[in-house]
Chain A
């Protein structure tokens, strides 16, 4: 199964942009890139996903490298509420297995 690699932790100041990287060098052509975030003792929350093109929604932007071997989640203006663990995962488009394994993610700390 294709796996992802993320830094263990990152820090940001409030109101500053945050770029969270994710490497997925073994990604296949049919894998979607998904991002979720999790607050302590809560279930993960969907953030954004994409296949090849960059994506924007009200929460964040997703920049996907041209070779698709890496991606970056962009929070345009971090707030204290954005402090969470962010997971980058891959999901097979065909869904024959649709296995979704979450790694340890990136713990984002946001300070005043």
Chain B
């Protein structure tokens, strides 16, 4: 079945370590997004990519990095510069960037910094 796969589902990391979260989609979507969600809060946009080899910062990009070398993959690296990385991370995609296109979300990755 087509969809978005995020891995790992749960991840623990020590302070000062970088960690990379995987996001893969087989929907042939051009646009992909990364969100962060803290307990009881909404989703905040970290980075988004509208096409391969292109990406833009969202509202809270500091301490994060991304790449978009392949259409189906949009990995997110949480660097040691991110001061409060413990959160629920969600990846999403849409056919293209147009406003009338729905977003499809993965099941999320929960990162805990020890």
Q: Which residues of A contact B (CB under 8 A)?
A: 30-32, 34, 36, 41-46, 49, 51, 87, 91-95, 97-105
Contact = CB atoms under 8 A, between A and B. Distances in A.
Given A30-B99, A102-B35, A104-B42, 7 more contacts: A31-B99, A34-B103, A42-B108, A44-B105, A91-B101, A98-B48, A101-B42
Interface in B43-72: 43-45, 48, 50, 56, 58-59
A100 B45 contact: yes
Interface of B: 4, 31, 33, 35, 40-45, 48, 50, 56, 58-59, 88, 90, 92, 96-108, 110
18 contacts: A42-B108, A43-B90, A46-B102, A49-B102, A91-B100, A92-B99, A95-B50, A95-B99, A97-B56, A98-B31, A98-B98, A99-B58, A99-B59, A100-B33, A100-B103, A101-B59, A102-B35, A105-B42
A93 B98 contact: yes
B100 A49 contact: yes
A45 B101 CA distance: 13
A42 B107 contact: yes
A51 B100 contact: yes
A46 to B, nearest CB: 4
A92 B101 CA distance: 10
B79 to A, nearest CB: 22
